[in-house]
Amino acid sequence: MIHFSNVTKFYEKQAALKNITFSIEKGEMVFMTGPSGAGKSTLLKIIYLSEKPDEGSVTIAEWDLSKLKESSIPFLRRNIGVVFQDFRLLDNRNVFDNVAIALRIRGMLDSEIQEWVMEILKMVNLRHKADSFPQALSGGEQQRVVIARAIVGEPTILLADEPTGNLDPDTAAGITRLFKEINARGTTVVIATHNRELYRNTGRRVLRIDGGNMVGEEIG
Amino acid sequence: MYLLYSFRLALQSLWREKWINLLSVLTIAAGLFMITLTFFLVYNIDLATKRLPARFSVMLYLNDGLSEQETGSIIAQVKKNNAVEQAKYIAKDKALQELKGVLKNADYILEGVDENPLPASIEIKLKKEAVNIASVKKVAAEIKKIKGIAEVEYGEQFLNSLHSIKGMAKAGSLSLIIIMSAGVIFVCYSTIKIAFYRRKEEIETFKLLGATRGFIRAPFVIEGGVLGIFGGIAGAAAALAFYYVLFYKVTATIPILKILVFPLETFPALPAAGLLLGIGGAVIALGRIRFS
């Protein structure tokens, strides 16, 4: 599903990723861990095409990114749900509209959107907050809105960048359960985190990154 | 279809910044009103020059002492020319009579003149399509070759001046229309550019969620179009007020202005022109949208 081959990425001559090679299979749930600044976010950005690798090749769901036309990028992105570290919620829209936007972009009809969004909000336990605005939600609730927006379009890949960053342990555990549920439906899930508790005893693959290098792999 | 949603986004954005947008609409209206006035001017100059062929004539002065038969032959030859619509013979006596009529109280000028100094002449009217410098020159040259014609007069200088004035007015007006249209496009461009920057964060999020260029552009293009249409409507209202004041108020004081004509088709054309210029400005403002 995701294949990196000798990928290197520079930011102003400083290497953020160095010769990274790994593969993630369809339906897998993989953790990426390492200290802050290790290159986890850069790696995710390359997957959702926000950044381009300077060297090496990347294949996502059989799309070779180096051969991908710019006009095809939106269509590939629709197959990738992203839980952004900074949430990227639209402050001037309520929870319903924040989730619905992912479907409006896909050209879905209003009647279908209504049903679909409410279903997803029920799944993340936010149905009662559909009319609330992001500022009125707690950090955990905001995180769940972002997850709802990321999965509402039924992507084949779900990426999460530090999804439990500022959450208390109970809320973080709830979020992790949610990811497991999503993964159980067949979605490939990649979670970048420096929180050990998130992947401990999960039995899932953990890729270790440090200083832009892939330094190891273990089972959590 | 996301068009309905794009309309909603555009209208929300227009309402959110209603005062800036109102200012843009008024500026667009002023530009379109100026274009209307320029068009009105050119239209009337064009109309005036189109009316000219009916009044335009070429005078052929004949040699003295021609017989009736020779004169008849000259008229027949003149009428053979394809550009000639009609030819009217003016005898020496008739010419003198007409001159006296024109001089009226100043007929002392002719005192002491025993012999009629005026030549017999033929006044010819040309066909509508032949009243232009090149054609008139050609006809004059052809007719001058006819034996018995002493002189051909057609007001060359007048025709040249008229042609130059018409050309200059058209070129000046066209330049003004282009400049004003560019101004209207620029107003729309700036308004949409500001709106685009204001929503930059949101647009970045849309891109990351898989929005196409069409989805991102549509609300802004609609915004540009709406600004243009409203500018056009306001411009048309101003033009209507101008029309009312000119044709109902000013002509009461200066009746000669009644000869002016206001093309009424301009009113519905203004919102359409505004729409096109608005969309044009928005498209330029958005430029190429990049995804990576």
Residues sharing a CB contact under 8 Å with residue A107, sequence separation 6 or more, in sequence order: B1, B2
Q: Ramachandran region of residue A24, left (φ > 0), alpha (ψ -120 to 50) or beta?
A: beta
Contacts of A180 (CB under 8 A, 6+ apart): A29
Do the domain assignments include residue A169? yes
pLDDT of residue B25: 96
Cα torsion at B234, B220, A118, A174 (round to 10°)?
-140
Tokens 């993964």 belong to A183
List pLDDT tens digits, range A29-52: 999 999 888 899 999 999 999 999
Over residues A69-89, the mean pLDDT reads: 92
Integer distance in angstroms from the first to the last C-alpha of chain B? 25
Question: Given an 8 Å threshold on Cβ–Cβ distance, is B209 in contact with A101?
Answer: yes
The ipTM value here is 0.90
d(CA A44, CA A49): 9
Q: Cβ contacts (< 8 Å) between A74 and chain B: which residues? A: 207, 210-213, 291
Judged by a CB distance cut-off of 8 A, whether residue A9 touches chain B is no
Q: Please identify every stretch of chain B with a pLDDT value under 70, giving residue numbers as ranges.
A: 1, 53, 107
The secondary structure of chain A as a DSSP string is: -EEEEEEEEEETTEEEEEEEEEEE-TT-EEEEE-STTSSHHHHHHHHTTSS--SEEEEEETTEEGGG--GGGHHHHHTTEEEE-TT----TTS-HHHHHHHHHHTTT--HHHHHHHHHHHHHHTT-GGGTT--GGGS-HHHHHHHHHHHHHTT--SEEEEESTTTT--HHHHHHHHHHHHHHHHTT-EEEEEES-HHHHTTS--EEEEEETTEEEEEEE-
Residue pointed to by tokens 């552009």: B217
As a whole number of angstroms, the longest Cα–Cα distance in chain A is: 50
B137 three-class SS: helix
- Domain regions of chain B by residue span: 3-51+162-286, 54-160
Is A142 domain-assigned? no
Q: Is A102 on the interface with B (CB under 8 A)?
A: yes
- Is B288 part of the contact surface with chain A (CB cutoff 8 Å)? no
Residue of chain B with shortest Cα separation from A52: B292
Which residue range(s) make up the domain with A66?
2-79+155-219
Nearest beta carbon to residue A74 from set B1, B202, B210: B210
Q: What's the gap in Å between the CA of B9 and the closest CA on chain A?
A: 11
Determine the 3-state secondary structure of B124 from DSSP.
strand
Is the residue at A94 inside a domain?
no
Q: What is the per-residue pLDDT for B113?
A: 73
Residue A76's pLDDT is 93
Mean pLDDT, chain A, integer:
91
CATH for B54-160 is 3.30.70.3040
User: What is the longest distance spanned by two Cα atoms in chain B?
Assistant: 103
What angle in degrees, to the nearest 10, is found between the helix axes of B3-16 and B18-55? 100
Q: B200, B206, B209, B288: best mutation site toward chain A, by most A Cβ within 10 Å?
A: B209
Where is B289: in which H helix or E strand?
A: none
Q: What is the CA radius of gyration of chain B?
A: 31
- Report the C-alpha gap between B284 and A42 in whole angstroms: 33
Q: Is B2 on the interface with A (CB under 8 A)?
A: yes
Alpha-helical (H) ranges within chain B are 3-16, 18-55, 68-80, 92-103, 133-144, 156-198, 200-208, 213-244, 251-253, 266-286
Residue contact B292–A73, C-beta within 8 A: yes
Pairing of strands A157-161, A188-193: parallel
Look at residue A180 and tell me if it is in a domain.
yes
Token pair belonging to B101 = 């009529």
Find the CATH number of the domain harbouring A174. Answer: 3.40.50.300
C-alpha B166/C-alpha B239 separation (Å) is: 24
pLDDT higher than 80, residue A115: yes
Task: Check residue B1 and give its pLDDT.
Answer: 65
Number of structural domains chain A divides into = 1
Has residue A208 been placed in a domain? yes
Match 């007001």 to its residue by tokens: B155
Interface test with B, best of A44, A48, A87, A104 (most B CBs within 10 A): A104
Residues 159-218 of B with CB under 8 A from A: 202, 204-213, 215
Q: Provide the CA A23 distance to its chain's centre, in angstroms.
A: 16
Quote the minimal CA–CA distance from A63 to chain B in Å. Answer: 16
Q: Do B292 and A49 touch (CB under 8 A)?
A: yes
Out of B205, B211, B292, the one facing A70 most closely (by C-beta) is: B292
CB of A153 within 8 A of CB of A81? Answer: yes
DSSP state of B83: T
| B7 lies within 8 A of chain A by CB | no
Instruction: Supply the pLDDT for residue A46.
Output: 94
Q: How many CB pairs under 8 A join A and B?
A: 55
CA distance to partner chain A, nearest, from residue B4 (Å): 10
Question: Which residue in chain B is spatially nearest to A48 when comparing CA positions?
Answer: B208
A178 within domain boundaries:
yes
- When mean pLDDT is compared across A65-69, A151-155, A165-169, the lowest value belongs to A165-169
Tell me which chain A residues have a C-beta less than 8 angstroms from the C-beta of B212: 71, 74, 105
What pLDDT is recorded for position B26? 96
- CA A107 vs. chain centroid, Å, equals 22
Q: Is A53 on the interface with B (CB under 8 A)?
A: no
Question: Could you give the CA distance from residue B140 to residue B63 in angstroms, rounded to a whole number?
Answer: 16
